[in-house]
Structure 1
């Protein structure tokens, strides 16, 4: 496309221009992520806060994970898409700083919340006699996670700026070196290690040890007659969290590969399909914020009961009496008063580990 001129001002050609139908398809895809992620994670937050029985250490970390996912979906998904699709920044310098700062903060909080859950499960299953995290200690860990996330992401906020050229405005991070300097690639590599490789390695080791204990051998110190009921209950929780972690890892892997690859080989940015590749990997990364509520609903009976309660006005959703009991803190008391022997122990174990 030839550049258009008006007086001495030359309007730069926009290599990001796309057909209207393609913009429409991408818009539907990104709006779907926004709607499902925000609505689904807000329901998760409500289920945990509104039901006393759901206020466990693991669920507090899941609440933090839901908050960070909902926030990133609300504040960044559509903005990222608009900027990537049009190549023009419409939102001013203040939001440019926030736009570069907050996603890193939220992703850090998300993945380290998952790491905290993995370590908590490790302590509960491998070292069951050692003290568990209290509610106050859990909130302290969450506060530390967000503090470290803010510290890590602050340089992105500090060095972010906008630059206006004829016909277009850019939002970018103006590191104190040139774009061709390998410092930029090293910077992203360090970021990738801190918010992806390191926590995934910790979770991989923790869940491998847990998996060997739950699926390959007896749990240390457990010789009760209800061993199999306890084992199945623990397996359900660990299975759900492994699926959450693997989903997150798969969604973000192409995104990190894209930035490392284009950082090492700048000529890739001139490829005519690079914008479509970026929109694809960006959508996949942003979509990581919408899967967790679906996973919880499918694999956890209490979260499923909570979702049924929210959608019970729909004709195809049936709220059973068992679903009502799942969210009541008095269910354990009913076990004491109405059940004895193995049935009682099974009920107790489901409360503790499901």
Structure 2
């Protein structure tokens, strides 16, 4: 891909490259889309942080991971969404080489920390549902350790381009920056391959294994038929639906981006139209909106505090009989029967 936008020093050089990729109306459309994602993402994630800080009842071990996810998404929106909105509105990347490197690093840093936090959440849900009576419980120290690890992990794998191993370059229609997927030199390719493995494949594997075990355990609990009127089946359906939404959201927002990068690395002759390449970029950045909705607002306890804060005290779900936190219900169900998942599997 051509990177003359960064090499030129004048506005004309920026414009000469950018106009070949997308029309002015196209850039304006992208600016509106990214602006909408950014504004909504900032509002939702700030709401998550403020509500959790104000209500002590929400300060549970899982809340550390959920708030950290909101902080990560807020960072992506502020340091990635806002600059991209501005550069799209201008029709070219106006921040120069240093700006590209800083934006690329910031978005990658917060983005990978978000992915790692998602993996931490999946582990927590696995422990709550599958090991409710086990010796290992998800406590505050585990949540804090998981949060700290997500930041350290992201920092370790996103700083090498700042020191020469890999680089940050323009992507898509040349209005935002990311790790350089297109460089063919050995150093850049080795970095990207290792980066994809440790920063995407590893979190994805943890999420897949954790949620697969969760659904399998729920299936085994259902076979016990220990509740009346099929309430166990209802719980399984609720949790299964939530898990499916979580996994699908992760795959939809991040898989196309990772697949595109891997395809470019594996086939040096592969050409992806810049406009097509922009779609995975925007899907990945849209996770700043989906994450708080899926991970927070499907939590009935949090929703009970957040919704009244937004609607001036009114909560339309106040009398909602449905259970939104299925994993807690299933854990309670197992405990009430005084039987562990492992024991239930023997029956």
TM-score range, shorter chain: 0.7 to 0.9
- 2:108–2:158 Cα contact (<8 Å) kept: yes
For residues 243 and 74 of structure 2, what CA distance do their matches in structure 1 show?
18
Q: Which runs of 4+ in 1 moved over 6 A?
A: 84-87, 160-163, 168-175, 222-231
Match among 259, 281, 297 for residue 257 of structure 1: 259
* Deviations 1:271-309 (CA, angstroms, capped at 9, x unpaired): 6xx121122221111111111223356633223323322
Aligned position for 1:335:
none
Q: TM-score, length-normalised on structure 1?
A: 0.71
Larger Cα Rg: Structure 1 or Structure 2? 1
- 1:37–1:70 Cα contact (<8 Å) kept: yes
* Deviations 1:123-174 (CA, angstroms, capped at 9, x unpaired): 22222222313323321321122112111111123338899xxxx9997879
Aligned position for 1:74:
78
For residues 184 and 104 of structure 1, what CA distance do their matches in structure 2 show?
16
For residues 22 and 199 of structure 1, what CA distance do their matches in structure 2 show?
34
- 1:69–1:289 Cα contact (<8 Å) kept: yes
Tell me the number of residue pairs that the alignment of Structure 1 and Structure 2 aligns: 306
Q: How does 1:175-324 map to 2 (within 5 A)?
A: 179-214=183-218, 216-218=219-221, 236=238, 239-269=241-271, 274-296=273-295, 299-313=298-312, 318-319=314-315, 322=318
- Cα RMSD (Å) of the superposition? 4.0
Aligned position for 2:149:
144
Structure 2 residues not aligned, in runs of 5+: 1-9, 321-331, 337-347
- Corresponding residue SS for 2:138: coil
Shift of 1:24: 1.6
For residues 306 and 268 of structure 2, what CA distance do their matches in structure 1 show?
47
Q: How does 1:54-133 map to 2 (within 5 A)?
A: 54-80=58-84, 88-129=92-133, 130-133=135-138
Indicate yes or no: 2:53 matched with 1:49: yes
Q: How does 1:17-56 map to 2 (within 5 A)?
A: 17=19, 18-56=22-60
- 1:104–1:153 Cα contact (<8 Å) kept: yes
